[in-house]
Amino acid sequence: MRSLIVVACLAVASNAAAQQTLTVLSSNATKALIQELGPQFEKTSGQKLTLVFANSADLKGRIEKGAAFDVAVLTAPTIADLISSGKLNGPSRADIARTGIGMAIHPQATKPDISSLDTLKGALLTTSSITYVEQGATAPVLRAIFAKLGLTELMNAKTVYADSAADAVAEKKAELGFTQISEILNVPGAMFAGPLPSEVQVYTTFAAAASPTASAAARQFITFLTSGQAAPVIRKKGMETLPGDRLPPIAADRLTPAQREAIDAFKAARGAEVSGPFHPLLRSPELMTRTRAMGDYLRYKSALPPRLSEFVILMTAREWTQQYEWNAHYPIAIKAGVKPEVLEAIADGRRPPQMSEEESTLYDFCHELHREKSVSDATYARALKLFGEQGVMDTIGITGYYSLLGMVLNTARTPAGATNGPLLRPQR
């Protein structure tokens, strides 16, 4: 009799857990997607959802302040940052979709041509006002475009910030709105005028992850968002499906003894949790340990001072179009003394103006090494004079080490973390 009572109690508890509402925090860019997929999940799973929408930066702030939730669907860099800070469960993370940036106009407005950089500039010059989310994913892309076109001051004067650029245009608070295409297509009263020109277009990936204390139902919802059932809805809502992280963090209960040993060695040496390229490298524990050991020297003890070491690292990240490494080292380089305008030029694939003699020499050395697979006598002589034989070898070592990490990250498709620095577009 007692055992029957226990079984009955467990059944009641199980049913109560199944009915517990899951709170989903979603970016505005994925609002229409979640609004359609949410009820489908409720119908098939019997699980109730509470949906909360805002821009990714706003929701990140709420999570950091302790807001209760079960699943977050935000920009991939935001998800990565929250995983790093322990606010999200890393192994639960999954890429959902990506979308580009577009222009929104009121349906009664004349549609401007923005098919090229020149016509986009013309539209910006003639409009009376623009709008975008000040802290949103679109903001750094637009500001980089304005700077490129020499329109920063003018566009600052014309900008009306809003919580939703598409809604602001629909309400006639501004003539032109810039935001994720998926958001524009799903706001009544806003019309999609077209995507940014290909030479300045940047795609934003959106990912989902569960809170550290979320139930199994939260992971089930994330799995549903990546299922074949979700794919046609993703495309209908103006987004693109994409492959996820090929080699994501390994769940603690699935680690082998060798992997646990490699993680312990990493923590002891670096005083930090495993991150970035070391998650995929963990599939080969000894390679991870030996790679980390090489990095311990090249990152922290090489013959190059931090300013020049970080310069070489970012040169390498640019060569491999490796956004994770760029994002990780951009703020470190700025703090070490590398000028932002120098890094802006490197990100854009241009030779930076006003470099120091040391930076100019390293730029030529690394550029030749990457592109020509060797270094000319003249460039070698300059580097030897400035840095000596050890400095030359350490420069090669840093370049090779971060090329290895770039290959690992690109192959694994490891998502990039957030940064205030430039976005790396594919080099032509």
Q: What is the pTM of this model?
A: 0.61
CATH topology assigned to domain 302-412: AhpD-like (1.20.1290)
- Intrachain domains 101-195 and 302-412 with the same fold: no
Describe the strand order of the beta sheet including 130-131 as a list of residue ranges. 130-131, 176-180, 101-105, 191-195
Provide the b/e sequence for 215-242 (b: ≥16 CB within 10 Å).
Answer: eebbbbbbebbbeeebeebbeebbbebe
Q: Which helix (H) or strand (E) holds 195?
A: strand 191-195
Q: Does residue 275 contact residue 325 with C-beta atoms inside 8 Å?
A: no
Blockwise average pLDDT, block size 10, the chain, 428 residues: 40 47 93 93 93 92 95 90 89 87 94 94 95 87 91 95 93 94 89 90 88 92 90 88 80 92 96 93 97 96 97 97 92 95 91 94 97 96 98 98 97 75 68
Quote the CA–CA distance of 263 and 249 in Å, as a whole number: 12
CATH code, 2-98+204-236 = 3.40.190.10
Q: Which helix (H) or strand (E) holds 301?
A: none
Angle (CA) 155 157 159, round 5°: 65
pLDDT score for 428: 53
Nearest CA-CA partner of 144 in 427, 420, 354, 428: 420
Residue-range domain boundaries for the chain: 2-98+204-236, 101-195, 302-412
Query: Can you identify the CATH homologous superfamily of domain 101-195?
Result: Periplasmic binding protein-like II (3.40.190.10)
